Amino acid sequence: MLFAIISVSAPAADKPTAAEKKDLGIFIENRGQSATGHYQLIGMYRHQLTSSIGVYSFTEKVWSGSSWFEAYAGPTWKPASWLQFGVAAGREMNPNGIRYAGMFSATVKKADFFGVFENGASGPYRYITAVYHLPKNFNIGMMDEATASGIGPRVEYAARKNVTVWGATLYDRDTRKTNTTFAVDFSF
C-alpha cells in the first residue's frame, strides 16, 4: 500500500510567483481506448498556496461495460521551481473503497515528466509520462499506464494554447495486446 508523509514549514509571506499563478487551475481529459472500448473522463485541479506548498485534487470516471469512479485530494510540495510532489487520499467505487496516491511532476528544459502511483481497494495503479517538446506545437514521448492500457510511444499536438490532442499505441503486458488511446486535454 502506498503511503507517504511530507512535513514542510513555509513562511507565511511566501507567495506564488507570477509563473506559478499562470499554472493554477483546472485540467480535464476525455480519453477513449480501442482495445478495451472504455471511455474516461478525468479532472484535476492544482493550486499553489505559497511558492512551495499547494493542494491538488483528482477525479476519474470510467465507462466500459460497468462504471467506475474515484476521487482524492491532498497537499503538494515544490522543493524547486521545476519539481513538485503530492500525496492524497480519497474514495473509489468499491467496498472499503479507500484510495491513496502519490504524484510527481518535473520539467527539465524541453522535457516534462509526470507520474501518479495509486493503491487501494481495487489494487495498485500507475500512470507515467515523459514528453519532449518539439517545434511547431508537437511533442513526443512515452507513457506507461499499468493495469489499464500498457506502455508505448505517445504523440501530442497542441491545437491551441489550452487544448492538446494526443494519441498513444500501447502494449499491454498482461493481455499481450496492442491498445490505441486517443485523448483531448483542456486546461483553464
Per-residue burial over 172-182, b if 16 or more Cβ lie within 10 Å, else e, is beeeeeebebe
Could you tell me the CA-to-CA distances from 108 to 58, 67, 111, 137 in Å, in that order?
24, 37, 5, 18
Smallest CA-to-CA distance from 6 within 76, 71, 73, 54 is with: 76
pLDDT digits (tens, 9 = 90+) for 92-134: 997 789 999 999 999 999 999 999 999 998 889 999 999 999 9
The number of beta carbons lying within 10 Å of the beta carbon of residue 25 is 13
Cell match 500512470: residue? Answer: 127
Q: SS3 of 149, please? A: coil
Is the pLDDT at 13 greater than 70? The verdict is no
Burial of 33 (0-12, 13-18, 19+ CB in 10 A): buried
- DSSP of 28-45: EEEEEETTT--EEEEEEE
- 70: cell is 474515484
Whole-angstrom Cα distance, residue 155 to residue 3? 32
Q: For domain 18-187, say whether CATH 3.90.79.10 is its number.
A: no
- 76: cell is 503538494
pLDDT digits (tens, 9 = 90+) for 44-86: 999 999 999 999 999 999 887 778 899 999 999 999 999 999 9
DSSP state of 147: T
Sketch the domain layout of the chain as residue ranges. 18-187
Is the pLDDT at 17 greater than 70? The verdict is no
Q: So what's the pLDDT on residue 148?
A: 65
